[in-house]
Amino acid sequence: MIEVNNLVKVYRSKKNKEVIGVNDVSLKIKEGEIYGIIGYSGAGKSSLIRCLNLLEIPTSGKVKIDGLELTKLSEKNLRKARQKIGMIFQHFYLASSKTVYENIAFALKAAGKSPKEIDARVKELLELVGLSDKLNQYPAQLSGGQKQRVGIARALANEPKVLLCDEATSALDPSTTKSILNLLKTINQKLGLTIVLITHEMEVVKEICHRLAVMQDGKVIEEGPVYDIFANPVQPLTKDFIQSVLQFNLPQQLIENRKGTIIKIQFKGAIAEESVVSDLFQQFKVKGNILHGKIEYIQDVPLGVFIMELTGEEKEVQRAINYIEERTQNLEVVEHVA
Ligand SMILES: Nc1ncnc2c1ncn2[C@@H]1O[C@H](COP(=O)(O)OP(=O)(O)OP(=O)(O)O)[C@@H](O)[C@H]1O
Ligand SMILES: [Mg+2]
């Protein structure tokens, strides 16, 4: 659905100094998926997403959406193509002098729809975002979450195939964030809309994204299905982000002064529901002291971590470790005190 090839965006500062926004990014985003892009401030996320609808003109590289190479289109055709790409922002950008109804109607008018079509569509959209009772209110009379719902309705007005979200929930409190994410999830499922979502919060990714790209210094440094990245982050930055939501590590003082072998076991997917640990104690003469245990659900798929101190005869402990390694393929000996 979206294909980005070797995209580069270089800005020129007033002193004619070059600032790199996006540095040679290539991506493929599939139809109907929710694709997350995460990175710290200045990583180039907004630059990248703004290049997707040519709100920012790429310095070089290609952007193809739904078979159309946007970077090659004339001004007029680009305007038309843009109607099929909705966008929402952190600060909503609603017209303050217009009512909720008028804010949404505006996008439809711009696309040349008749008043009758506009009226029916605005009402349908307000229903979809749960704001049917607010149509005559002004933005100042709405909460942040409600404003973002108007933003979403407006972005969906012309039935786009793609919705770009630049920090759409960053100005909202956690529970409002959740309700907006749920709305995006519903829209994704109901309308089959492809969603690209920029965030600096891993919690948001964990909640709704199917795949994820991690950005640093204008580059995509890691990319893949969200669950795989949570289970096996490779880059230090990705590990930092995962750590921020999963907190699977132990405080150092808990590890010190232990007599046994401390093992960390990670359970992925269905295996998180298996009885590996109880089987272990039935089969081997070892004792286990549980130091930490947690199962997180990444969109309903479990990812668990269990940290234990094993004590017993060294040979038996080793056999037990081999056994767990075989069953989970993911065991790390944190500390081994012989
Ligand atoms: N219009 C601009 N002119 C000059 N430099 C810019 C411009 N927009 C962005 N940059 C620079 O490009 C780099 C990437 O910025 P960008 O806004 O894409 O980052 P970001 O990941 O969206 O950050 P944030 O999380 O703070 O929104 C930064 O170094 C920034 O200073
Ligand atoms: Mg940004």
More confident residue, 281 or 247: 281
Average pLDDT, the chain: 90
Q: What is the mean pLDDT of residues 267-288?
A: 82
Tens of pLDDT, residues 35-48 = 999 999 999 999 99
More confident residue, 253 or 282: 282
Q: Ligand 1, residues 19, 48, 50, 169: which to mutate, most atoms within 8 A of Cβ?
A: 19
pLDDT at 338: 47
Residue nearest to atom 28 of ligand 1 (CA): 42
Give dist(CA 20, CA 8) in Å, integer: 8
Indicate the pTM of the whole model.
0.87
Distance 50 CA to ligand 2 centre (A): 9
Ligand nearest to the CA of 17: 1
More confident residue, 338 or 103: 103
Q: Is it the case that residue 281 has pLDDT exceeding 60?
A: yes
Domains, the chain, in order of start with CATH, read 2-243 (3.40.50.300), 252-334 (3.30.70.260)
Distance 15 CA to ligand 2 centre (A): 23
Residue nearest to atom 24 of ligand 1 (CA): 41
Q: Is it the case that residue 216 has pLDDT exceeding 70?
A: yes
Give dist(CA 57, CA 196) in Å, integer: 18
Residue nearest to atom 30 of ligand 1 (CA): 42
Residues whose beta carbons lie less than 5 angstroms from ion ligand 2: 46
Q: Is it the case that residue 272 has pLDDT exceeding 80?
A: no
Give dist(CA 309, CA 290) in Å, integer: 6
Q: What is the mean pLDDT of residues 42-61?
A: 95
> In this structure, are residues 56 and 134 in contact, taking their beta carbons and an 8 Å threshold?
no
Q: Is it the case that residue 10 has pLDDT exceeding 90?
A: yes
Give dist(CA 83, CA 318) in Å, integer: 62
Pinpoint the alpha helices (H) of 165-275.
174-191, 202-208, 226-231, 236-246, 252-255
